[in-house]
Amino acid sequence: MPSAGDGVTTAFVLGGGGVLGAVEVGMLRALFERDVVPDLVLGTSVGALNGALVAQDPTAAVVPRLLELWRGASESGREVYGDRPLRTVRRAVSTGTHIYSSGPLTQRLREELGDVTFEELPVRFQVVAASIERAAEHWFTTGPVVDAVIASAAVPGLLPPAKVGEEHYLDGGIVNSIPLGRAVQLGATRVFVLQVGRIDRPLSVPKRPWEVARVSFEIARRHRFARELAELPDGVDCHVLPARGTSARDDTLFGTRDFRTVEERIDRTYDAGLAYLDEHL
């Protein structure tokens, strides 16, 4: 198996996808079981959450931690959102911008990661978010990891914009849902893309007002990834790992809280990942 010592820089690119991010745990389990370890980890939104734990512990030992995190979410749904329906309605009315508090997610991440900074991680790690004031893609590379992950995971309408320093941020998926190009820019020569399955699903013509926004967003993020994939320079070996157990229903607003099939998705994607790695490595 090639390693950084063989002149290969291996990157794990973890894309966004809300509850679908559970499938990335199955991919990570397969990668570590086949002795694939990262020199670089890049994360967007929920991929930033999964990636932060990997960057802190880039070994197979991180998989049980991730499984426990996602099992907790599947048992109550409150690991991430934490609020009762009436409280979410009141918050939506009072703020006009979001329906959930970022408090439960922040607390859970601090339990896992503490006050670790990017500089203290054993593996280079970067997180992307969308800066509101600059209307720009922003990469967090220094400072507290938890603050950066919360910024990257600030899903518009669900969670409030995250303030870090003097700026406010929204979900990184708005600007770079699967940051393949960033990995190449940073010198990766072997890239494993951990994506949640959306890029494989055909889009349908929207029939309702709220579907227009979703379809438009999907076109934008899929287009960027497809372009970056097509423009990979010679010498970069890219593997887009298969996701299993996701569907178009997961892309709806109600799907964002459906944690019931988390473990099934993880297991199915793990099996698919092993089969892929055994065929291609």
* Pair of tokens at residue 257: 């809280």
Q: CA 44, CA 139: separation in Å to the nearest integer?
A: 10
The predicted pLDDT at position 116 comes to: 98
Q: CA 56, CA 244: separation in Å to the nearest integer?
A: 26
Nearest to 241 by CA among 166, 180, 151: 180
Q: For residue 117, what is the DSSP state? A: B
The predicted pLDDT at position 103 comes to: 78
The predicted pLDDT at position 276 comes to: 98
Which stretch of DSSP H or E encloses residue 6? none
Q: Determine if the pTM surpasses 0.85.
A: yes
The predicted pLDDT at position 173 comes to: 93
Q: CA 166, CA 7: separation in Å to the nearest integer?
A: 40
How many CB atoms sit inside 10 A of residue 98's CB?
Answer: 18
Q: CA 15, CA 158: separation in Å to the nearest integer?
A: 18
Which stretch of DSSP H or E encloses residue 210? helix 209-230
Q: Which amino acid is at 184?
A: V
pLDDT along the chain (281 residues), means of 10: 67 91 96 98 96 98 94 58 42 43 84 97 98 98 98 88 96 96 98 91 86 84 92 97 77 53 90 98 94
Q: What is the CA radius of gyration of the chain?
A: 18
Cβ contacts of 97 within 8 Å, gap of 6 or more: 157, 160, 161
